[in-house]
Amino acid sequence: MTTRTDDAAPARPVSLGGPLIRFRVAAYATGVALLGLVVEMLLQYVFRVELPQFVKMIPMVHGGLYLIYLLLAVDLAIKARWSMKGTLLVLIAGCIPFFSFVMERKVTHKVQAGVKL
C-alpha cells in the first residue's frame, strides 16, 4: 500500500478578471482627473482665469483617485506577479498626463495574454 505524501490540492490559477477591471476603471478615472487638473492649472496659472470654488477641488479629487489607483495597481501587481520595474512604471503612470491611458492598454493586453509585466 502506498501513501500519498503530498496532501495539498493542486494550486488553482488566480483569476485576474476582477482585479483587472478594478484597475482599468481606476486608471481611466485617474487619467481623466489628471487631465482636468492640467486644464485647471493652465486656466488658473497661465491664463489667470478666476475659477469657481468647485473647480478648485480637482486636485483633491485627483489625489484621492490616484491613491485608489495605487492600491488597485499594487493589488493587481501582486496577483499577476509583476516585476518591481513594471510595477513602478504602472504606479508612475497616474502622474503623467495621457500615460495612464497608454499603460492601462498595455497592462490589459499583457494580463489577458498571461504575460508578466
Q: Which residue has the cell 486636485?
A: 59
* Residue 13: CB atoms within 10 Å: 6
- pLDDT averaged over the chain? 90
- Dihedral of CA atoms 20, 21, 27, 32 in degrees, nearest 10, equals 170
Closest CA to 47 of 37, 39, 57: 39
* 18 alpha carbon, distance to own chain's centre: 13
pTM, rounded to two decimals: 0.85
pLDDT tens-digit readout, 52-84: 998 889 999 999 999 999 999 999 999 999 999
**DSSP class of 56:** G
Cell (9 digits) for 57 = 477641488
User: What does the pLDDT average to over 38-64?
Assistant: 93
